[in-house]
Structure 1
Amino acid sequence: MWYRLVRSYRDLNSTKYKVIHEIEKSLPISPYDAEWEAVGRGEDPKLYSPFTHIEVFIPWVFIVLYFVAFLKLFLWETIKDVIC
């Protein structure tokens, strides 16, 4: 579900920027195109890292953290029962 939502926003934003770039072709300046050029058109990860990758990764971090916390709690209760 989360991945689909992030992918949907990524696709929507990509489409918006395509439209903006088309509009810029008829304007005297092209600030969005200049910005995209400054970050290497997204080809150099040192200059540009899509936020989408981070958004997809974050839920997995929390899943692992909650899983570890659950295991620790469960193991602690088991040890406590054995000792007492």
Structure 2
Amino acid sequence: MYVEMMDRVTERRGKTNTFYLSLLSGLLTLVPVLVEKILLPQSKDKYIVLLILATLGFCLCFIWRSNIDSYKQINFLKFQVIYEIEPNLPFPCYKREWEILEENPRIQYRRLSKIEKYVPLILAIPYLGLFIYSLSGLLR
């Protein structure tokens, strides 16, 4: 039952990542539509709207990164509890899993949390560029 709870946390983590990825991608998709179709191309208002979108996107990237760290901590704690329960089980599955991994040098395990924490940072780059672009447009 406890392992099932851990799986649910992992599932929620995946859904959270999908949510932020969709939201941030959608927000970036709005930029050319707003600039070309809705806002006047030469208007200063364009830069204010873009600055707001850039700030919003950048903040969402930061919040997403914080969520990833939080889920990582929750999973770590749940694994610690499972490791404490495992000696009372008929077979220590998780311990054996790690032993097999360590015994086999051909298997290069990369922790998902180490990889996934870079995605919000990578997605923050276009928002940073948009922020600089809109700020420079306002200062002209």
**Superposition TM-score, scaled by structure 2 size:** 0.40
Unaligned residue ranges in structure 2 (runs of 5+): 1-62, 134-140
1:61 aligns with 2:122: yes
Task: Give the total of aligned pairs.
Answer: 67
Which amino acid in the other structure matches residue 5 of structure 1? N
TM-score, structure 1 length as denominator? 0.62
- AA partner of residue 10 (structure 1): K
Answer whether contact 2:65 2:120 (CA < 8 A) is retained.
no
CA distance in 2, matches of 1:65, 1:54: 19
The match for 1:31 among 93, 112, 120 is 93
Higher RCO structure (Cα 8 Å, ≥6 apart): 2
What is the percent sequence identity of the aligned residues?
32
Q: CA RMSD in A?
A: 2.5
Higher helix share: 2
Q: Which runs of 5+ in 1 are unaligned?
A: 75-84
TM-superposed CA distance for 1:65, in Å, is 4.7
- Corresponding letter in the other structure for 1:12: I
Q: Deviations over 1:3-35 (max 9, x none)?
A: 221111111111111111111101120111111
